[in-house]
Structures are given as C-alpha cells and as structure tokens.
Structure 1
C-alpha cells in the first residue's frame, strides 16, 4: 500500500496514497490553506512540492482553477503557431508532453480523506458514494488516505455520468436508451462509431443455422454488444480484461433488457469458437496511455489492433465478417500510415470487403484553436468489413 508522509504540528503524519494514474506518492509535502496564494502554490507545484489542503474545500477548488489558468497562460494562437512550425507527429508528442506536465502539476494539490471516504474539510461535499463507485466499499480495515483534488473531481464527475447516463439513439427511444459508464470506463460520447455498427448490413448465419453469433472484442461499457442485441443478433459474447469494464457492461446490458442475449467474459481478445460477426473498436492511437481510462484511446505499439487482426481468421465462421471500427486520426498524426494498416490486414490472411465512413461531430474537430486541429479537422471514422482472404 503506497504511503504519503508529511509533518503537521511538529509530528510526522502518514496516510494511504491514492493515484489512478499510478503516480508515486510525493516526497515533499507542505500544508496549504486559505492564506496560500495561487502564485506560491504554482511555484511549489512546478518545483515538485505537493500541497496538502487544510482550508475551505471550495477555496481549494478555486485555487486549482487558478493553477490551471497559469498553466494555460500561453495564448492559444501561439500554441497553434508553434504546432504548425513542426511536423504533425512532433506536434502530437509535444502536445502529449504538455498535457502530462500540466496534469502532474495540477495533481500536486492534495485532499485528505477519512477512512469512510468523507473529506474532513470545511464545506466539503458528500463524496462517499462517488468514491465507493470508484474505489469500492470502504473495508473495515480502511485507513485515512490522500489523493489529488483533481482526481477527486474526476471521481465525482464520473459518478454523475454514471447516475445520469449517456443517451444512445441507436438503442431505441428515450429514456430507455442510456449507457451508464463507470469510473475508469470510456464513456460512449462519440456517436459516429456506434451509428456505423447500428446501420452496417449484418452477415447471414452459417448454412444450416438460423441465428447469428457475434463477438464484441473489448466491450468496455457494453454499448456495441447492446446495439447488436437490439438489432436482433441472437447471441453475443462480449469480452474485456478490465474488471471495471466487465461490471459496467453487465450492469448496462441488464438495465437495457438484453442480458439474456449477451454473455460477458473476462478474456483477452477472442473467446473460444467461431462467430459469423466479430466486432472490435480498438484504441485508435498507437501511443502510451497515461491513465487507465486513456487505454480506450491509446494503445502503445497498437498491440490490440495487431492482436485482433492476427486472431481474426481463426475465429471467423465460414462467410463471416470482422468489423474493425477505427479512426484515421493516427494517420493524420503520422503515427500509423494507411499502407501499414492495409499491409497488416493482408499479412494476416484478410481482405477488405468494403469500408463505411463517418465524419466525427465532436467539438474538437471544429476547434481551430486546438493544437492538433490540422489533424482533427480531417479525421474520419471507418467501419472496415473484413473477411478471410
């Protein structure tokens, strides 16, 4: 159990250290309160000194916002101009480095928790339910802990997403068409890839069979498995390795009324057997994830994509199809070329039947001030229909 240490009232104190990003406990910790100025906090945080907050909770939130403003003080037009002066792949890596440095600095403002996840600060909100969702029920042996305020705000935001849910038009009419993402599980807020799976022509069952079996590889929240079930696919096996994702998928499939059609299994990629339809929406960018939730977007070395292509032919039923849902953002960022993708498809004994494209509608695609706007503005999400060559 990682432990964080600090000195308070002349005595050494310690608590359990919590970090979803896997960051080590800060080695230097000082106390901060309502008298701490934003300039002082920013200087200390940039130097690697953590600030354990002892003041009013809402004042702590305001201090975090002030730190963020100082980190973002370079005008957007200058960031964009700097990005345009280097190759796009270098601009991407610079952007990721800047994001990482910003997150590390903002993560230096810390919040204490009692053993029951309550926060012993003036005007602190009730975060026990949100922390229980993220960290599990507090055990009888639980002790006081410390986490960054930024992480706590992520926990409470995720709790609200889980409570309200995300409306998915492809799952039917409101209000019975919502996916409720859990903490640490990617939220299906980008609807274009879901729409592609909801509208692509389904393959026919193998000769002699009346029902269709499908695999959903890397199910996450279970949204694609639910879409397939709503489309009438009789049986779906949804796989994932992340316990949070498995719990999330099971809960969503149950509340959508399709749990009888979908089996959720903790498996790396493919279950045993063959299916007429195998769907996979792997992380789109072959780069290192900096936190668990980023693993839905970043996959260092493109390992999941490579694993899916390598194992697909062995698990396809005769005349079956593999649906690979993939954005071409990696191509525009210089992280992977179209030729490399096509070569990987061919090298694994596969052929492309067709490709269905959709233009993303998320806000960043239209944000001219975004450092990666050059690439995002040209992004297309595609459903590649693959079959054994």
Structure 2
C-alpha cells in the first residue's frame, strides 16, 4: 500500500515520481510541502529561503494574504463560465490591467506560452489586415538565445538545441538576429515583417540586460519600418526589475505586451496579451479563444495582483533591495563570482567554472537552506520574492560566499 504523502520522506517521494512522471524536468532534490512569504518547508520540516520565486511567478511571495483572500472569496462564488458567457470579474480585471500598462485592450489567456502564441497570431492578423502583407508571407523577427516557451511554434525560433532537437518539423515565418544588435535588426526587418518580438531582459539566457538605448532603438526602428514591437515581459514584468515593466527603464511603450507568471500571484495560471486598440481590434469572434482564459477565479486573482502593483510598493522594494543585491554580488566579484548582471531583484551570477557547474552550486546552496536554479554552464539566477527582506538577502549572499569558499 502506498503511504500517504504526508507520511513519506523526501527520498520516498522523489523515488515515487520516477516511474510515473514524465522526465521533462531535472529538479533539485527538495520536496516542498508548505510555504509562506519568501520561505518554503520540505516534508521533513527543513526550511529554505526561496531565491527563485517560481521563475518570477511568485513575485509577491508564497500565499500573499491579499491574493489568498481574493481566491478564497471567489471560490465561494464562481470559478468558471467559459467565454461563452460574460462573468462579473473580467471587465474590472481588463480595465485595471490596461490602465496599469498604459495600453488599451486585453486578451486573457492562461500560461505564458499561450500569451506568446496569441501575440504571434494577433501580429500576423494585423500584418494581413492592416499592413497589407500578402497572405501567408508575414515574418516575425526574434532574438537569438531567446526563451518564450516550449510549444512547437515557439521552439521553432529557439536557438536552444535542447528545446528543439527531435521536435520538428518547425513552424516557418521567423528570422533570428543577435540580441542587443540594432544593426542586425535593421537588416532583418522588411516589408513582410509583422513584428519584432523580444524580451527586454533575457531571463533564461542568464539575465542578459541589453545596452542602454537598445529598447529605445527597437521602438524607433519598428515605428519607422511600420511593424509592431512585441515585448515579452512574462518574466521581467510586474515589479521584478524595480518598475512595473522592464521597458519602463527606457520609457518605452510597445505595441503589444505579453504578461504571465506573476499575474496569477502564484495561485492560478493567468496570462494576457495587452495591446493598442488598433492592433488587438483585428480579432473577431471565433478567430481565437480559450475555455479557461479570463475565468472568474483567474480574473479575481489577477485583479488583486494589479491592485498590489497599483500602490507602487513592490516596484520600490525591488528597486531598493536591488541595490543590496548588487552590493553583495559586487563584493563577491573575484571571490568565486566572475561576473554578474542585475536589475532590481533579478540577477544572473557567473560562478568561476573551476568551482563547479551551476547545477552543482545550486545543490550546495540547497544543502545550506537556499534555493536557486542554474541556467547554463556555471551561471545561477537569483530572483527572490519581492517580499524578501534586506537581512534575508544578505544572509543568502553570505551563504553563497560560504559555498564558493568551500568549493575553492
């Protein structure tokens, strides 16, 4: 007989997954059972400081009381209607999200990858209906080393062979240029280009921050060439970088904005495409949809998330605590850290390869009560909940210093 989950050890539960769970992830060997704020607890009661925050899905921490209350209240009333009917939560969610982002119309979806797929469809429809690109010839320009999801269409324009190998044939219609290279972008955009799709900061690539002026240049180029600027802020948006959106660091407003992860508050999957009216207006009934997109539970939680961001508190926290993070990492430069890139409470940290891979460093930190995740090679990423304290950050950086010292 299988023991109940609460009576099984971490090792038991990890072994139980092996024969029945698809092996599409390689998680750290920790089994989380409870969480609150910036802390999680495993089945044996060991506590860990969460410095990953669900890849930014938990910007407001685990079980933020305002978000939990919004979910509880909605669970007692209505959870799903499908978009066959209206529901009483969706209008407010769309109105406040549009106002928060400075755009006009919202297409609610569920996951980040769905938002990207939906943004691609909207851009292509706009290219045919408004720009006049011949049917079937629309192209979208993307950046190398991007991460926008793992659906078949999205991996078609990935340069990560782990994501691509074995999944072809691939969807045509994409041109890949180097990130942070305006000259290459200029050359790639032509009369068939529907949109330029980029991450304002490339998260999965290692928190790669473009040069000052790059986003402004993308905005100017797309206007001049008559195509759309789509900003994928699924990881970088909603307070993570010290602004509501990462594009705000250059006062840029895209034509289309892709949001997800933190929009669901770590409770339910919520994503959205937010766009100018003349762009989103190309969609008509039956041309796109989602049974769960815009469901009342998601709309209630999403509205509560927008409410937290409307105060500006979390953006300020990320900005101020980001200085603590940068100072701590700067002190480690040359002492096991060969380099880092940080904006707000988000950092990609390059560890001296002689001290171990990113995976090995992550495992050592786990054993010391700090949860992070590697990206590529010897790079780890730090993205704690925006509710983390300065003391907790300093403690985590002290533990990183200890682990790197032991590895040396």
Q: TM-score, normalised by structure 1?
A: 0.33
Structure of greater Rg: 1
Which one has more relative contact order, counting CA pairs under 8 Å at least 6 apart?
2
Q: What is the TM-score normalised by the length of structure 2? A: 0.31
